[in-house]
Amino acid sequence: MTTGAVDRGGPRYAAATDVGLVRSNNEDAFLTAPPLFAVADGMGGHRAGEVASAGAIRTLQKEAGHDTDSLVAAVQSANRVVHAEAAANPDLSGMGTTITAMMTTHDSAQIVHVGDSRAYLLRDGRLRRLTQDHTVVDRLAREGKIPAAEVDRHPQRSVLERALGVSPEVDIDVQLLDVRPGDRLLLCTDGLTSMLDDDEIREILLTESDPETAAQALIDAALAAGGKDNVTAVIVDFPRLDGASADPSRTAEQPAVVLAGGAPYPSPRLRSRGVPSTGGSMGPAGGSAPATSGPRTPTSHRASHQASYQASRGIRQAGPPGSAPGSRPSSDPSGASGGPAWRPRTRLVLGVAIVVLVLVLGLLGGFLALRSSWYVGERSGHVAVFRGVPGSFAGIRVSSLAHMTDITTVSLPAIYQQQLRDGIAAADRTAADRTAENMRHLQVPAEQIPTSTVTPTSTETASP
């Protein structure tokens, strides 16, 4: 499937996607809704990958505004939507998705990124990769433990360390790119980059000037190379204007900033001049609505400052009119104090009895809750089902092993190994068993990751 359009007064763009020659369903999704563009590559057992990528794209389009802060917030929201849906439906447990999204203006592009889908910039015949894959082998290459040339062909190149939907919060790479007339930007899933190297991608982008033709040519080349995965490409061109020339003093790109999971960091440097959305098309259906937020109201510290001042000056809070300084107000309207000596003792006994009763009821409720709680975790290097909750209380384990599978944790991607160490909550025993069985679909090949120490080379490709 190929789509193409021209955004009046803005960039020209097109997108193409294909299921490939091996897979039976397409787990990729894309968005072309200027000024917002995105690609997503879902993962998970059965058809869960399609649900994850489509849900992330819909949420992104619905909640993204016209600046980086809103774009980051929309990606965090998409992460929570996918994670919540996976937690609510055992058939979708373990699903997740990559996402690479871009917000454009006439002279800039703001890029957010999680996973191993990529963004590229073609400028003056040179192809530059803008994003960093969040995979195990890419990290090993950056650390110099494997050659960079082996990354795109490594059997475990798709083992992710970061993805949407795996945890309630996710770290997001964010960067600002200054664009020039004549620049071409490409967003793509790993179905393209696993089949074609950067030189082949660059050659097609240089040869085909029309974005729609170029997007389809990339898909066709990936299929000709084997088409082992779903493949998606989104191309955005910034056309040269009559009489306009590029300003070489403009910075090509700013370093990526990693925003930790949670509320987005309000960086003024990464905010952009907004442009009105002109609509567009996307893989899955969805609406568009800008995200807005109101100003925060600062908290007054006058009361605390006054209390500190009074304490430092030895001043006590005044009591009712006519009371002595420092005396407590009397609850007796007649002004008399005291009372029968047994009253304080009776109140103390009653208070202790109430506290003990509350503790007993709390412990009983907690015990019943533990007996009805289930989670999937790790035991002796295997995926296992437990009754109770993860962790311990006062050094005592509050869970018991119900069933251990033959699925080894080392055969799973790193992000799922961490989930198992933390414990994956389940609604009941049936849901826990289904979650554990879904892990079988997420196993990766058992080849060992090499540990050679060759220094990685640059990923930049220059024109001849």
Q: How confident is the model at residue 84 (pLDDT cuts 50, 70, 90)?
A: very high
**Nearest partner of 29 among 296, 305, 232, 271, judged by Cα:** 232
Phi first, then psi, for residue 421 (nearest 5°) are: -65, -35
* DSSP designation for 461: B
Residue 356: its pLDDT value, please?
A: 82
CB 272 within 8 Å of CB 68: yes
Mind listing the pLDDT tens digit for each residue in 27-76?
999 999 999 999 999 998 668 999 999 999 999 999 998 777 799 999 99
- Least Cα distance to 39 among 16, 21, 68 occurs for 16
Tell me what pLDDT residue 158 has: 75
Residue 125, pLDDT above cutoff 80? yes
**CA nearest to 236, candidates 460, 2, 10, 14:** 14
Q: Phi, psi (5° rounding) for residue 276?
A: -65, 140
Residue 343 has pLDDT above 90, yes or no: no
275 pLDDT higher than 60: no
pLDDT at residue 251 above 50?
no
For residue 242, give the H/E element and its range. Answer: none
pTM: 0.63
* Tokens describing residue 406: 């033959």
Residue with tokens 């790109």: 253
Catalogue the long-range contacts made by 128-134 (C-beta closer than 8 Å, 24 or more residues apart): 128/252, 128/253, 128/459, 128/460, 129/198, 129/459, 129/460, 130/175, 130/177, 130/253, 131/100, 131/173, 131/256, 132/173, 132/256, 134/160, 134/161, 134/162, 134/163
For the ranges 112-121, 157-166, 352-361, the one whose mean pLDDT is highest: 112-121
Taking residues 415-444, what's their average pLDDT?
82
Distance, in Å, from the CA atom of 359 to the CA atom of 435, rounded to the nearest integer, reads 34
Average pLDDT (98-105) is 96
For 194-244, the pLDDT digits (tens) are 999 999 999 999 999 999 999 999 999 999 999 999 999 999 999 876 554
| 39 vs 274, residue with greater confidence | 39
Question: Cα 350 to the chain's mean position, in Å?
Answer: 51
Locate tokens 């871009």: which residue?
Answer: 102
CB proximity list for 25: less than 8 A, separation 6 or greater:
19, 47, 50
User: Quick check: 146 and 449 in contact, CB under 8 A?
Assistant: yes
Residues 112, 70: Cα–Cα separation, whole Å: 11
pLDDT computed for residue 316 by the predictor: 41
Average pLDDT over residues 275-290: 38
The one-character DSSP state at 248 is T
